[in-house]
Amino acid sequence: MTASVLKSRAAVAWGAGKPLTIETVDVAPPKAGEVRVRIVATGVCHTDAFTLSGDDPEGIFPAILGHEGAGIVESVGEGVTSVQVGDHVIPLYTPECGECKFCKSGKTNLCQKIRETQGKGLMPDGTTRFSIDGQPIYHYMGTSTFSEYTVLPEISLAKINPEAPLEEVCLLGCGVTTGMGAVSNTAKVEPGDTVAVFGLGGIGLSVIIGAAMAGAGRIIAIDINESKFELARKLGATDCINPKDYDKSIQEVIVEMTDGGVEYSFECIGNVHVMRSALECCHKGWGESVIIGVAGAGQEISTRPFQLVTGRVWRGSAFGGVKGRSQLPEYVERYMNGEFKLDDFITHTMSLDDINDAFDLMHEGKSIRTVIHY
C-alpha cells in the first residue's frame, strides 16, 4: 500500500531560546531510500539544549529537535531493503552507508554520505518531510525524534532486537553508547588504568560504566553538582570531587592524587576551560584526553604546546566511535543480557506535552535523562 501524508504531534523549535510548542505537523511519505518511523520514546540530551540555545553554528529554525529515540518502522520508500514495516529501530545521527571513503577507511564511524544535507536540516534530496500548513519545518541531526512520526534515510537506522524495551534502549541512540564507546573504541582503556571523568550527566556516567567494565583501577568523577556523586559511585567511581572545594586548579589536584596524572580523561560537559583541565591532568608521556562535550560557536581550546610535546594526547569522540548499523544492535544485545543497566539514567519520564520541563530539569541539574513517551 502506498503511504500518504500523516498528521503527527511534534515539539517544534521556532527559534533560539524559545520554548518548544506542540504542533500537529504533516509528515510526508518516505521517498526512495527513506523510511518513516513511529517514535515510541526519546531521551532529551544536552545537545538538544545546546542547539536550542542558539550556540550551535548549525542550528536552524523552525526545526524538530531530538536525536536519542527508538521506534517502529511505519512505512518504507522505494528500494528500501534492510528494514521492513514493523521492525524495531534506533535512529542514527551518525549513519553508516558502508560505501563512502569514511565508512571504507576502517578508521572512523563518521560516515559522510549525507552529512552536508543533514547539517542543513534537510533530507538527502535537499527537501524536508515536515511541514505545517505548507511551511517547511527543518529536520535535526537527521533524526528529529521529538515528533511521533519522523522520516530518515535507510542508512540512518539500526535494526534492533524487537524484544528490547524501546522506552529504555532509546538511550543507546546517543548518551549511553557515546560514553561507553568513547572508553572502549576511542580511549581503549585497559585494566588497572586510572581515569578522570569531567561532568556527570548521561554521558559522563556512561563513561564511568565503560571504565568500570574495562577494569579501570581508579575512576575519578568530577562535577560541580554534588547530587551527581551518589549515582557515579554506584556505577563505579572510586573518587568524587568538586573543583569548588579546592583553592588550586583541578588538574593540579588530580595530578597530586594520582602520582603524576591519569592514563585517560574524558570531558563530558562542553566547557573549553574544563577541556584544558582534562588534558593537563593526564600523565606526562602517555596520558590521553578525550573530548566528548560539544562547545558553542566561536569557542576554542587552548593549552601550552609543551603539554603535547611532553606526550599528552588530545582526542575527540563522536557517538563513541560506534558504527551504528553494524555495531549498535550488539549494544542492545549486551543490555538485554544484563551487562549494564539503563533505568539508573532515567530520572524522569513524561509526555511530549511537558517536554519544556525536561529542558528545565536538565538546566537545573535535577535530571540525568528525561525520557518522553509518545
Per CB under 6 A, 318 contacts ligand AHE: yes
Segment near ligand NAD (CB under 6 A); pick from 14-22, 80-88, 158-166, 265-273: 265-273
CB-nearer residue toward ligand AHE: 94 or 277: 94
- 199 close to 242: Cβ distance less than 8 angstroms: no
356 binds, among ligand AHE, ligand NAD, Zn ion, none (CB under 5 to 8 A by kind): none
Residue 51 CB-density burial (10 A; 0-12 exposed, 13-18 middle, 19+ buried): buried
Segment near ligand NAD (CB under 6 A); pick from 82-90, 156-164, 218-226, 333-341: 218-226
362 binds, among ligand NAD, ligand AHE, Zn ion, none (CB under 5 to 8 A by kind): ligand NAD
Separation between Cα atoms, residue 190 and residue 345, nearest integer Å: 25
Among 23, 36, 46, 148, the active-site one is 46
309 DSSP assignment: H
Per CB under 5 A, 47 contacts Zn ion: yes
The yes-or-no answer on residue 111 being catalytic is yes
- Phi, psi at residue 89, to the nearest 5°? -140, 155
Site string for ligand AHE, 28-67 (x = CB under 6 A): -----------------x-x--------xxx---------
Measured CA distances, 164 to 70, 168, 172, 293, 344 (Å):
10, 8, 11, 28, 17
Q: Write b or e for each residue in 241-270: b if 16 or more Cβ atoms lie within 10 A of its Cβ, otherwise e.
A: bebeeeeeebbebbbebbeebbbbbbbbbb
C-alpha cell belonging to residue 340 = 549494564
280 binds, among ligand AHE, ligand NAD, Zn ion, none (CB under 5 to 8 A by kind): none
Q: Residues 142 to 181: which contact ligand NAD by CB under 6 A?
A: 174-175, 178
Q: Residues 98 to 137: which contact Zn ion by CB under 5 A?
A: 100, 103, 111, 113
Question: In terms of Cα–Cα distance, which of 137, 163, 140 is closest to 47?
Answer: 140
The yes-or-no answer on residue 273 being catalytic is no
Specify the residue for cell string 564511568.
208
Separation between Cα atoms, residue 327 and residue 256, nearest integer Å: 39
| Coil vs helix vs strand at 131 | strand
The yes-or-no answer on residue 373 being catalytic is no
The yes-or-no answer on residue 240 being catalytic is no
The yes-or-no answer on residue 67 being catalytic is yes
The yes-or-no answer on residue 68 being catalytic is yes
Instruction: Single out the residue of 22, 60, 97, 294 in contact with Zn ion (rule: CB under 5 A).
Output: 97
Specify the residue for cell string 521492525.
87
Residue type, 269: I
Instruction: Single out the residue of 271, 303, 349, 356 in contact with ligand NAD (rule: CB under 6 A).
Output: 271
Specify the residue for cell string 553554528.
57
Question: In terms of Cα–Cα distance, which of 140, 118, 128, 116 is closest to 61?
Answer: 140
CB-nearer residue toward ligand AHE: 95 or 261: 95
| Beta bridge pairs of residue 24 | 9
C-alpha cell belonging to residue 11 = 515539539
Per CB under 6 A, 268 contacts ligand NAD: yes
Q: Nearest approach, Cβ of 246 to ligand AHE (angstroms)?
A: 30
Per CB under 6 A, 318 contacts ligand NAD: yes
Per CB under 6 A, 67 contacts ligand NAD: no
- Phi, psi at residue 201, to the nearest 5°? -85, -160
Segment near ligand NAD (CB under 6 A); pick from 14-22, 187-195, 289-297, 353-361: 289-297
The yes-or-no answer on residue 174 being catalytic is yes
Catalytic residue numbers? 45-47, 67-68, 97, 100, 103, 111, 115, 174, 369
Task: Write out the residues near ligand NAD by the rule CB under 6 A.
Answer: 45-47, 50, 174-175, 178, 198-204, 222-225, 228, 243, 268-271, 274, 292-294, 317-319, 362, 365
Task: Write out the residues near ligand AHE by the rule CB under 6 A.
Answer: 45, 47, 56-58, 94, 110, 115, 174, 294, 318-319
